[in-house]
Each structure stands twice: as structure tokens, then as C-alpha cells.
């Protein structure tokens, strides 16, 4: 049996009653060749949840998604930084404004996905996309760093990266000048990314 591609999203958090990444995981659940999961928006448990998914499913690649509430673009993240630095409390009430994720870890890890290719192909598909060198200081970046650290420490041959998705149109309806990105468009982006990963890994659709 061919190893699946692991896809993860996050639960709703803060003022966001809906997290489109969780809805996307629900939409893709049960699809052939992928495994989906919705992770807790908690510093202390998201990494362990990701590690358990790796152990259970032994995926061929992993692609994690999070909400970038202030973005109008799909952002393919290039770097995970070794820092928790956000004034926002996670869903367990934890605030970390200046904490190393791994005190002895490197300053940053790079995505091991072909970021330029992913950006180019989504742009060709007519989707609003860019790359980013800073995944923020909240739980998204924390998970990205934890996942890459785990993969490096275990010496796994596992391509992994993180993608931030913009809010849905209804989430920004009261914000002038903002349009958001529909769930159908976001699903199209996720499916395109999965297809590109399958192609790069030589996995049949």
C-alpha cells in the first residue's frame, strides 16, 4: 500500500468561530491517498498530536495548514522560526511572548517542499498566492518548527511544509477592502498542492 500524504488543519481559536482549515480537513477526510487531521491550537499539544499522526500513518509527505486572518493570499511558508512570540493566548490560555521552541535547536528550519514550484503552479491556476519567510509567532509557526525538528531528529525522509490560508469571505464581510477566499477556492488550492506533491514523489493519483 502506498504511503498517504498527511494533511492537517487547526481548530477554531480566539475570535475566529470558524477555521477554514478545519472545514477543509472535513471535506478531504476519507479521500484516497490522504490522511487528514484537525489539531488543537495549543502550544503544548499540537506537536505531540503531529508526532502521533506520523507514527500511526507513516506518511510519504506532510502538509500543514493554518489560518492567516489578516492575509488575502495563500502563503507558502519557507521558514519555521525557533520562537514563540505572540500576545494571543492559545486555546489552553497559554501566552508566550519570547520563548524558544527548542532551546538547543537551530534558529530556523526550511520547508522541504518545492516552494517556488508550488507558488508558480497555484498562480497559474489563478489563485492568489505568495511565499512567506515568517510564519508568525503563534501556534502555526510552533507546529511548523516542532514538525521539522521531529523529522530532522528522527532522520526521516519526509517532505514537510506549512501553508497559511486566508479567511473566508464571510469572515471579512465587515472589513472594507477585503474579499477573503471561498472554501471552494481554498479546496481547489489544497487539491492542487496534493497533486503536485504526488507528482513530485511519483505517487499515482
Residue found by looking up cell 489560518 in the block: 67
140 annotated active-site: yes
Q: Give me the catalytic one of 42, 121, 140, 142.
A: 140
198 closest CA partner among 59, 55, 73: 59
**50 contacts 87 by C-beta, under 8 angstroms:** no
164 annotated active-site: yes
In three-state secondary structure terms, 205 is: coil
Distance separating alpha carbons of residues 80 and 82, to the nearest angstrom: 7
Q: Give me the catalytic one of 42, 46, 64, 77.
A: 77
Q: Are strands 74-77 and 96-99 parallel, antiparallel or unpaired?
A: unpaired
**81 contacts 113 by C-beta, under 8 angstroms:** no
DSSP, residue by residue, 121-186: HHHHTT--EEEES---SSHHHHHHHHHHHHHHHTT----EEEEEEPPPGGGSTTSTT-----HHHH
**119 contacts 129 by C-beta, under 8 angstroms:** yes
57 annotated active-site: no
DSSP class of residue 4 equals P
Active-site residue list: 77, 140, 164
Amino acid at each position: 500500500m502506498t504511503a498517504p500524504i498527511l494533511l492537517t488543519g487547526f481548530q477554531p481559536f480566539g475570535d475566529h468561530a470558524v477555521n477554514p482549515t478545519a472545514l477543509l480537513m472535513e471535506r478531504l477526510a476519507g479521500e484516497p491517498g490522504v490522511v487528514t487531521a484537525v489539531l488543537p491550537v495549543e502550544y503544548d499539544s499540537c506537536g505531540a498530536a503531529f508526532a502521533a499522526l506520523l507514527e500511526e500513518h507513516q506518511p510519504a509527505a506532510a502538509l500543514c495548514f493554518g489560518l492567516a486572518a489578516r492575509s488575502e493570499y495563500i502563503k507558502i511558508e519557507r521558514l519555521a522560526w525557533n520562537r514563540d512570540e505572540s500576545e494571543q493566548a492559545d486555546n489552553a490560555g497559554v501566552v508566550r511572548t519570547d520563548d524558544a521552541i527548542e532551546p538547543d535547536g537551530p534558529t530556523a528550519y526550511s520547508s522541504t517542499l518545492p516552494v517556488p514550484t508550488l507558488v508558480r503552479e497555484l498562480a497559474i491556476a489563478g489563485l492568489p498566492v505568495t511565499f512567506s519567510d515568517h510564519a508568525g509567532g503563534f501556534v502555526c509557526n510552533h507546529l511548523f518548527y516542532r514538525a521539522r525538528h521531529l523529522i530532522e531528529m528522527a532522520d526521516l525522509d519526509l517532505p514537510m511544509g506549512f501553508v497559511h490560508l486566508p479567511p473566508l469571505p464571510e469572515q471579512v464581510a465587515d472589513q472594507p477592502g477585503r474579499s477573503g477566499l471561498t472554501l471552494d477556492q481554498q479546496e481547489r488550492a489544497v487539491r492542487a498542492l496534493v497533486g503536485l506533491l504526488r507528482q513530485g514523489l511519483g505517487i499515482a493519483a
